[in-house]
A = this chain, B = another copy of it.
Amino acid sequence: MGKAHSNAWKKAPEFFEMSTRPVLNVACGRHETSLKEFADKWGWEETETDWKKMVKRPDIDIIDIAVPQNLHYEIALAAAKEGKHIFCEKPMCMNLTQAKEMLKACEENKVTHYLNHNYRRNPAVALAKQMIDEGLLGNLFHWRGAYQQDWIVNADFPLTWQLKKEIAQAGPQWDLNSHSVDLAHYLVGDIQTVSCLTANFIKERPLAEEATSGNLKAEAKGTGKGAVTVEDAALMMVRFKSGAIGSFEATRFATGRRNHNTFEIYGSRGSLLFDQERMNELQFYSHDDPEGRQGFKTILATDPSHPFMKNWWPSGHNIGYEHSFVHAVVDFIKAIEEGKTIAPNFEDGVKIIKVLEAGIKSAETGQMVVLE
């Protein structure tokens, strides 16, 4: 994530017009050697191993929180108190109580807060939002989302921090469904009821020596065994306030699905399909098309008229995963400059965590949870 964020801060002013150019001031991390290396590579001016010192520096305006979720709460609170604007990775935090306090701290200290559900700023997804807002889908009936990965299908994959409740709080319900619920809120609306079912397919895994940097998934090596304390997969069924219904499927056991973040939205006038593995495409069905000429149309969302795209390449030239981070930086800086909010933010985060927590509760009781 350090890589994706550093890249975004640097590329934003190269590809977009920005009146304020972000400065890569201080890189913060626990391990001095690897931190220095990272900072050198990416052009961070200084390094710091104590985040508490960093948030107090008067020469810093923005804190970018890109650490595991168990640390978000503490850092965000401290940063907000120091009047720093916050760019925060997802999932937001460990529970609803934390989320509400984080939001409150930002509001009280009048800082700009952004929660990095980056897929909203994928051009094809932003296009979906435009089309829904224009009414091209009519009344929405269905959300059908799935966020499927397969990185822990092998039983000898080690017990990394993502599989431990004390650090991660939950498995794909937190990591993946947070993204999907954000998109559902963004595109369909608020959720009213939640039913959830979870599964744990592999209950024990080799212990991992936590790597100090880099890709934990690849480098971790097992020594002994320990219990997996988060779920491996989480399904949800929801009813939206609008009357639409939705389903969610988040899993790390969908063999063959590397990062298959998909949704289908069906409405009275049309439908949309999206798949992050073909992230430059959006499929659109229009019920308004003449009889016999109807079908799902694959829009390659790389035209200059598509959101964010006139700043990149000519039509038909794809962008990649990291570009949505650049878009987030552009909008975040603009929000700070103009003193406006940016979405998704901690208010959206509170709503997401509420749904995810309700899901965990429903999975435990077998009962549908009605959100207040």
Using a CB–CB cutoff of 8 Å, the interface residues on chain A facing chain B are 3-4, 6-7, 10-11, 13-15, 41-42, 127, 131, 139, 141-142, 144, 146, 148-151, 153, 193, 195-197, 199, 201, 215, 217-218, 232-233, 235, 237-239, 243-245, 247, 249, 251, 253-260, 264, 266-271, 276-280, 283-285, 287, 289, 291-300, 302-306, 312-323, 366-368
Residues of B within 8 A of A322 (CB): 313
- Quick one: closest B residue to A148, CB to CB? B266
* CB pair A271 B247 closer than 8 Å: no
Is A199 touching B245 in the complex (CB atoms < 8 A)?
A: yes
Q: Are B255 and A285 closer than 8 Å at their CB atoms?
A: yes
Q: Please, which residues of chain B bring their CB within 8 A of the CB of A306?
A: 292
Query: Which one of B127, B141, B253 contacts A266 once the chains associate, using CB atoms below 8 Å?
Result: B253
Inter-chain CA distance A306–B165, complex, in Å, is: 33
Copies in the complex: 4
- Give the docked Cα–Cα distance between A278 and B302 (Å): 12
- How far in angstroms is the closest Cβ of chain B from A14? 6
Look across to chain B and name the residue whose beta carbon is closest to the beta carbon of A16: B41
Closest Cβ–Cβ distance, residue A170 to chain B (whole Å): 16
**Given A144-B146, A276-B316, A284-B295, 16 more pairs with CB closer than 8 A:** A13-B41, A142-B254, A153-B268, A193-B197, A195-B366, A199-B244, A199-B245, A251-B266, A256-B287, A259-B315, A292-B305, A292-B306, A293-B299, A294-B303, A320-B320, A367-B367
Cα A244 to Cα B251 in complex, Å, equals 12
Q: Which residues of B contact A277 (CB under 8 A)?
A: 280, 300, 316, 318
For A134, give the chain B residue with the smallest CB separation: B293
Which residues of chain B have C-beta atoms less than 8 A from A319's C-beta?
320-321
CA A7 to CA B150, docked complex, whole Å: 33
- Knowing A233-B142, A297-B296 are in contact, say whether A218-B367 is a contact too (CB < 8 A): no
Quick one: which of B41, B249, B260, B300 contacts A258, CB cutoff 8 A? B300
Whole-angstrom distance between the Cβ of A184 and the nearest chain B Cβ:
14
